[in-house]
A and B are shown apart, each in its own frame.
Chain A
Amino acid sequence: MSDETGPALAALLAESSIRLAETASDKEDAIRQVGAALLEADAIDASYIDAMLERERSVSTFVGEGVAIPHGTLAGKDSVKNDALVVLRFPDGVDWDGNDVRVCVGIAARGNGHIALLSQLATVLLDPDRAAALRAATTSDEVYELLKPDPEDE
């Protein structure tokens, strides 16, 4: 991890939660892997994974630029133990209702600690060059560099 990575970012997105060479057979498999990573990060109870799948059935979490942000429902919030994010990259892509997803940013949040990071993700996705860099990232340093919150954001 690079020196300038803030403690807040590293606490929310652990280096062990950045997995950049995953493969998934389909969307549900990808979501279950994201859930497993959140479980390993001690962020959730296993029931949160069902809430993630339920949320995906009602409204897709595909946000564009080859990125999806799986997370649970409001009812699933009780299954969140600690706020955390995970980043899973699927270099071969995952068919997400006809969209080609390369990166999943999994979210477990009770509080608002993840907002600066999601805000930065929005900024990255609105910039085609940086969005492409995120889809192509092969090291955790690259991911930290892209998702480091902009100091101008609250």
Chain B
Amino acid sequence: MATIDGTSIKKLIVACDAGMGSSVMLASTLKKQLAKNGVTVEHSPVASIPSDADLVFSLAGLAERARHTVPDVPVVPFQLFLGDPAVAKIVKAIQNGESFEV
């Protein structure tokens, strides 16, 4: 577990295998939710997550591969594209400038 300052998140990556489908949809939703907070949201295949990311959301089954790609970046697994509780909690923390645990 690590505590992360929500205001320190400037680049958030949504990762899935091909970077073709669900990651695109979640990234576009997060982009709208976090636009006011100055957070850049991009989607990426797990194998090519940029190392300058501050936080990675990854489909649960791919989290280990995401961690392997960027060992120094916190990776948060999610299960549901719509209303995943882990994602919702972190989005709220970033919006409010609060810290959160990963």
- On whether the two chains bind one another, the answer is yes
- How far does the alpha carbon of A101 sit from the alpha carbon of B61 in the complex, in Å? 21
Cβ of A24 under 8 Å from chain B: no
- How far does the alpha carbon of A79 sit from the alpha carbon of B21 in the complex, in Å? 16
- How far does the alpha carbon of A64 sit from the alpha carbon of B19 in the complex, in Å? 18
Please tell me if the beta carbons of A59 and B16 are within 8 angstroms of each other in the complex. yes
Which of A30-38, A65-73, A90-98, A133-141 lies at the binding interface?
A: A65-73
Which of A1-9, A10-18, A39-47, A113-121 lies at the binding interface?
A: A113-121
Cβ of B102 under 8 Å from chain A: no
Query: Which single member of A107, A119, A123, A125 contacts B21 (CB below 8 Å)?
Result: A107
Minimum Cβ distance to chain A for residue B18 (Å) = 5
Q: Among the interface residues A64, A107, A115, A122, which one has the most CB atoms of the partner chain B within 10 A?
A: A122
Cβ of B87 under 8 Å from chain A: no
Minimum Cβ distance to chain B for residue A118 (Å) = 5
Please tell me if the beta carbons of A153 and B21 are within 8 angstroms of each other in the complex. no
Cβ of B17 under 8 Å from chain A: yes
Cβ of B82 under 8 Å from chain A: yes
A-B contact pairs, 13 of them (CB 8 A): A58-B17, A59-B60, A61-B22, A71-B21, A73-B17, A74-B47, A77-B18, A107-B20, A118-B24, A119-B28, A122-B25, A125-B25, A125-B82
Interface positions of A (Cβ within 8 A of B): 55, 58-59, 61, 63-65, 69, 71-74, 76-77, 107, 109, 114-115, 118-119, 121-123, 125-126, 153
